[in-house]
A and B are shown apart, each in its own frame.
Chain A
Amino acid sequence: MILLEKIQCENKGFEWEKYASLIGLLVLVVVGIILNPSFLNPQNLMNILRQNASAGFLAIGMTFVILTAGIDLSVGSFLGFSGVVLALLIPHTGVFVAIIITLLLGALIGISYGWFITDFNVPPFIATLAGLSALRGIALVASRGGAVPVSNMFLIKMGVYKINPLVSLLISAVIVLYIIYNYNSKRNNNLIETIFIVLGISCFSYIIYSVGGLNIQVFLFLLAFGIFWFLLNKTVFGREVYAIGGNLEAAGLSGIKVKKDLILVYVMSATLATFGGILTAARLGTGAPNVGTGGELDAIAAVVIGGTSFSGGIGNLSGTFIGVLLMGVLKNVLSLYGVSSNAQMIFKGLIILIAVIIDTQLKHKNA
């Protein structure tokens, strides 16, 4: 390999565009603290994570879908749909079978999306728009328009159970040690990133300790995030997702089974959304048919704020993670300041717009 202008490449300096959403999040946190110091209360911080765990599940799936240049508009409806289905099933089948059936049902709907999109050439927007409407409809019809209560102890625990703080701290410590070890042993590692991650985990550990344990929903979200981060960044499938979104034709001619991958991506999105719905039902203690209305838009916003390109091929899950946090913190800060949830929508719209403008401007400069 002939290395050209290596020096200039290294002198490019701090890559602002890479950290734009992170900086945005930090600014928002500072604003939050100024507006209402109780924002910093560990219990509040943990609540932010807990309330946004299911939104996080939607955003993970959405990242994969958008990376293939697709879209899944139905994930919000899935929250209502799967909650109702689960709540209705539990009295008949018991909680475990009900969860499995609900998840399988979600996966099946994902397969059908993939099938419509790949075999019938229905644009993803349309296929999942149909799902958005139909799933919400099913949820409303099946529940007769009202919430279906859940009294199962296991499910209730899935909403409130806390993992022992010592166990949580141990896990955090292991992760931090692994990251530091990794930083030392690998080439090309980013010091700033490592510092941020280690700092983040340390703060998080403190929060866990202060509130007396790690909420199970938050734990499951973080676990899912880790698993899917690995899937996207370290596996053949992840590379194929990027290639399909970047150039469908080239991906196919490179021997990638495009159809199979696309179906899988929609199955993942649907199943993750179903799981998010189960967690929401657990947290609320009911299967509410109207829950998650507009959730798909929040998920899309989180993904886009995280720097994933709407035309596919560019983006990553760590950005989405920050996007989810940013949306969650925004909601929380505004609520603490006494802004009504109706007025919050205005701010949400503005933040999405600003995030994307910053992103495109910074990327344009470097194109």
Chain B
Amino acid sequence: MYIIIFNEKNGGVNLSYLKVQNLSIQFPGVKALDGVSFEIDKGECVAFCGENGAGKSTLGKIVSGVYTKNVFDITGTIIFKGEERDFKNTREAEELGIEMVHQELNLFNEMTIGENIFMNNFPNKAGIVNFEQMYNEAKEFLREMDLNVDPKVKIKDLTVSQSQIIEIVATLSRDPELIIFDEATASLTNKEIEILFNIIKRLKAEKTTIIYVTHKLEEIFEICDSVIILKDGQFVEKKYLDGTIKKDDIIEGMVGRKLEKMYPDRPSEKKINEIMKIMNWNVLDHLVPEKKLVDNVSLNINSGEILGLYGLVGSGRTELVMSIFKGDKEYASGEIYIDNNKVDINNPACAIEHGISLITEDRKENALVLLRSIKENIVLASLKKHAKYGVIDEKEELNTVNKYMAKLQVKAASIDQLVMNLSGGNQQKVVISKWLINEPNILILDEPTKGIDVGAKAEIYQILRELADQGIAVVMISSEIPEILGVSDKIAVMRDGEICTLLNAEEADEDKLIKYAMGR
């Protein structure tokens, strides 16, 4: 391969607008990128695809100056607009027009939308901010993006997906030339996804170069021109989406094999028993106590099958399961029966004793202790099981950890590796291991495949099916319709805090689910 340097004089050969050569990064215990080389044209919209830990986000973070050579063990070169760049920080990248929209929100909750948008460059005279001008400009800018929101609203009053859109808009206000989206749609509802895609289409028309990191392959075909596939930190191939490339081709590149099937077969015979009954469950909003987040929900949960709980973000699914598991007496009321006995759950420890495990939606916020090791995280919910008189039986602990790491195929350098250094899919496997150790009768999972690649997704579906076959009641909350349809035996749809229908998997289809969820 030879280098074509971009140069206005040579007729503006646009190739290698961004050129990455032999890029590697070494994290403690894991080589996250290993000799990656590729080129991107100006105005191209390219997707980064790969399994968890393939290095997609890491790559984006190096290009945008988040990971820098003075702090991290990075080798290789990045050539942007014909010059070798060695960013010391994100600001240097921003000055050249490289911006990254991160998966995590970087907004100031107590400040308004307008202030967040102009955080880097408040319109001011001698340091005194001209708020009127700022809000006018913000309003104008939001209108350009087809967003009809008041820039004086504080971020804390927005939903997660609205905030995510504001984050994107705030980034765009700095007028980037190259923008990197990291799993931008992971927490967006369909409505906001549409807004985002319109924004991206406009950016493409303006010849802005876009790198789109995602797990959702459907999205790639909708908006991207090409796709760069990574696997285990290595570059696999770059494909142009000219119509001949199919989803399976990309998956094959990502997992290094043909994914036989995404969803496990449903068993022909199932042993179903009613195990848990939720009666007249109500949950009030912590902030607005007159508002009901969950409205008189009654639901039967059976062992031996997977119940899919579908609904739009904000329909009360998470609040329903969280309030049951936490025993949130102040804001929740209703009755719970397990094996026909009324039970009183006061706290998570109590729920665990009753055989319930809850895998929460946000693994970094409320499932993992990122600073601690895999070992410590895996046994965190079952410490008493691994102890005698309060002293940990280290041998027993080691056995359990090794067993579950093998069972769920957690990829890590060692069991002492910090969880923060694992990829999303492996983190999720650690969370699932942690809850399986308790051998629950009822396993509730809230968006278990959020931000996880297809390979790991298929593995998780397989695990859920096996658990159901073993006689566990599995409840899976999800916003992804294909997943709900592919995995569940029964599907409950929630809307505005109520369960509006309960369908058998055979009678459900995408239209029906959307119809019930939207109330149309």
Contact = CB atoms under 8 A, between A and B. Distances in A.
Q: Report whether chain A binds chain B.
A: yes
Contact of B30 (A5, A236, A240, A257): A5
A31 to B, nearest CB: 32
B412 A254 contact: no
Given A242-B376, A247-B369, A249-B365, A1 B402 contact: yes
Contacts of B381: 254-255
A250 B369 contact: yes
Contacts, number: 114
Contacts of B394: 234
Contact of B370 (A4, A246, A252): A246
B309 interface: no
A8 B26 contact: yes
B128 interface: no
Given A246-B369, A246-B371, A314-B371, A236 B392 contact: yes
A246 B372 CA distance: 7
Q: Report whether over half of chain A's contact residues are helix, strand or loop; otherwise say mixed.
A: helix
Interface in A206-251: 234-237, 239-240, 242-243, 246-247, 249-251
B369 A243 contact: yes
Contacts of B369: 242-243, 246-247, 250-251, 313
A250 B366 CA distance: 4
Interface string A3-14: 111101100100
B205 interface: no
Interface string B322-338: 00011000000000000
| Highest count of chain A CB atoms <10 Å: which of B30, B348, B352 | B348
B224 to A, nearest CB: 30
B380 A251 contact: yes
Contact of B29 (A5, A255, A314): A5
A365 B27 CA distance: 10
B383 A239 contact: yes
A266 B9 CA distance: 71
Interface string B384-413: 100100111010000000100110011111
B234 to A, nearest CB: 13
B47 interface: no
A1 B412 contact: yes
A307 to B, nearest CB: 13
B390 A12 contact: no
Nearest to A238: B392
Interface residues of A, number: 35
A364 B28 CA distance: 12
Contact of B348 (A4, A6, A239, A255): A255
B411 A4 contact: yes
B348 A313 contact: no
Nearest to B360: A253
Contacts of B372: 242-243, 246, 313
A121 to B, nearest CB: 14
Contacts of B358: 253
B84 to A, nearest CB: 24
Interface in A1-41: 1-6, 8-9, 12
B326 to A, nearest CB: 7
Contacts of A313: 369, 371-372
A66 to B, nearest CB: 14
A236 B28 CA distance: 28
A334 interface: no
Interface of B: 26, 28-31, 71, 325-326, 347-349, 351-352, 358, 360, 365-372, 376, 379-381, 383-384, 387, 390-392, 394, 402, 405-406, 409-415, 434
Interface of A: 1-6, 8-9, 12, 234-237, 239-240, 242-243, 246-247, 249-257, 309, 313-314, 364-367
Given A1-B412, A236-B390, 9 more contacts: A4-B31, A5-B30, A243-B372, A246-B371, A249-B366, A253-B367, A255-B349, A255-B351, A313-B369
Please name the 5 residue pairs, one residue from A and one from B, whose CB atoms are nearest each other, closest first: A246-B369, A255-B349, A249-B366, A254-B381, A1-B405
